[in-house]
Amino acid sequence: MPADLNDYFKNRGGGDKGPGNNKPLGSGGGGGRKPPEAPEFLKEFGKKTGWLYALIALVALFVIAKPFIVINSGEVGIKSTAGKFESEPLTPGFHIFIPFIQEVRIVDTKVRSINYTSNAQHNMANIRESGVLNASSITALDKRGLLISIDITIQYRLKPNSAPQTIATYGYAWEEKIVNPIVRDVVRAVVGSYKAEELPAKRKEIAEAIRLGIEGQIDAKAGNPVALTTVNLREIILPPKIVEQIERVQIAKQEGDRVKLEVLRAEQEAEKVAALAKGRADARIIQAKGLADSIRIEADAKAYENIEIGKSLTAEMLHLKQIEVQGKFNEALKTNTNAQIFLTPGGSTPNIWVDSKSRQKKISAEK
């Protein structure tokens, strides 16, 4: 055996049997040494290993149990301790609870919708994820027992302050127990008070009656759990025979409206013609009246002129005019000896008729 190996075994205390060594293994015969001790930092690490394991276990438990929760806006937390709901909801923010003893469930308090429509698939998981539920159309009987289908949309929200009491009373499927039954009952009650053919014409009235009915019944629930936001009556689906009847009535009404419109147009045209004729007649009357007034004014002016002229005539002026006229006649007889002249001299001069062709003279005196 090489020397270095012999030295190694000697340092181990000669514990091995070998040539010239009859001592049992590990007897620690003469010249043996103690085994080397572990370094100091390993001794300290060994003492703290328990604490490290405890810390790792605590972190693992914290991650697995997750004793905290974050609540977003538009949501509230419902905390239950040993299965009993607390009366106050957890508001949006960071909250800590005791795992395995306490539980926190988040509920949505934002506006939610139920669409009652044809061929809808009723899936509650859909409303929990998107806040919108598609439900089947509401069937109702009208006043005469005819089957009517109503498509309507309801918007509502869970009230945050009373959310724990609502969940404790109705469970997490509270919409199926509060909103849906009320909506169907109210729609059927309202539609049942009308005839089928009246429904389209009274659409606004029916929608308002449905809204008031739903709102009243929801508010009457204990704890006032839900707030109704809007009610939208989208479609009224009538039986085919009623639709045909309504169409015939609408066509007849449109034809009647067309005839009334034509009659109104004819009346307006006749009134227009009469107005034009009356206008022309009035224009002629006004024109004639104006002409008559003009003639009358002219005659009055002439008469006034004659009166004024008459006032200016005197006996001397008339005598002078007579002399002038007689002079003109005499001048005319000088140039035309065959003329027949009628003189009315007036005054003291007699009336004279002269006929130069027959050479007969007739004199008549009037005094």
Per residue in 238-266, pLDDT (tens digit) is 888 888 877 777 787 888 888 888 888 88
Q: Identify whether residues 252 and 150 lie together within a single domain.
A: no
pTM of the model: 0.54
Measured distance CA(343)–CA(330) in Å, rounded: 11
Q: Are residues 184 and 249 in the same domain?
A: no
Domain boundary among 192, 218, 238: 238
Q: Domain end: 238, 264, 286, which one?
A: 238
Q: Which domain holds residue 84?
A: 67-108
Q: Collapse the DSSP code of 279 into the 3-class scheme (helix H, G, I; strand E, B; otherwise coil) and give the result.
A: helix
Residue 78 and residue 167 in contact, taking contact as beta carbons nearer than 8 Å: yes
The token duo for 305 is 């002129």
Reduced to 3 states, what is the DSSP secondary structure of residue 159?
coil
Q: How far apart are CA 108 and CA 74, in angstroms?
A: 6
Q: Are residues 253 and 233 in the same domain?
A: no
Structurally, the chain folds into a number of domains equal to: 6
Contact 17, 23 (CB under 8 A): yes
What is the band of 148 on the pLDDT scale with cuts at 50, 70, 90? very high
Q: Which band of pLDDT confidence, cut at 50, 70 and 90, is reported for residue 34?
A: low
State what percent of residues in the chain have pLDDT above 70: 73
208 & 255 share domain: no
**209-213, 218-222, 331-335: segment of lowest average pLDDT:** 331-335
What does the pLDDT read at residue 30? 45
Same domain, 83 and 138: no
Residue 270 confidence (pLDDT) above 90: no
**Residue 242, both tokens:** 């009623």
282, 189, 279, 200: which is closest to 233 by C-alpha? 200
pLDDT digits (tens, 9 = 90+) for 297-324: 888 888 877 787 777 767 777 777 778 7
Q: How far apart are CA 204 and CA 89, in angstroms?
A: 39
Nearest one of 2, 1, 35, 31 to 14, comparing CA atoms: 31
Side-chain-side CA neighbours of residue 117 (13 Å): 12
Residues 6+ apart with CB under 8 A from 298: none
DSSP assignment of 174-197 equals: HHHHTHHHHHHHHHHHHHTTS-GG
Distance CA 134, CA 119 (A): 9
**223 and 181 belong to one structural domain:** yes
Residue 209 and residue 129 in one domain: yes
Q: Verify that 268 and 308 share a domain, yes or no.
A: yes
Pairing of strands 84-85, 75-81: antiparallel
Q: Which of 15-24, 103-112, 183-192 is predicted most confidently?
A: 183-192
Whether residues 140 and 234 share a domain: the answer is yes
Least confident of 46-50, 151-155, 347-351: 347-351
8 Å CB contact between 75 and 103: no
Whole-number CA gyration radius for the chain: 65
pLDDT tens digits, one per residue of 281-292:
888 888 888 888
Bigger pLDDT: 194 vs 358: 194
**CB 196: neighbour CB atoms within 10 A?**
23
Q: Is the pLDDT of residue 87 over 70?
A: yes
Within this chain, do residues 234 and 141 fall inside the same structural domain, yes or no?
yes
- Give the pLDDT confidence score for residue 267 in this predicted structure: 85
> For residue 3, which phi and psi values (nearest 5 degrees)?
-70, -40
d(CA 140, CA 195): 12
Is the pLDDT reported for residue 10 higher than 70?
A: no
- Tell me the pLDDT band of 37, cut-offs 50, 70 and 90: low
pLDDT at 1 over 50: no
Q: Is the pLDDT of residue 161 over 80?
A: yes
Residues 129 and 83 in one domain: no
Question: Per-residue pLDDT for 173 more than 70?
Answer: yes
9 pLDDT more than 60: no
C-beta of residue 116 within 8 angstroms of C-beta of residue 137: yes
Region 91-113 average pLDDT: 89
Q: Is the pLDDT of residue 113 over 60?
A: yes
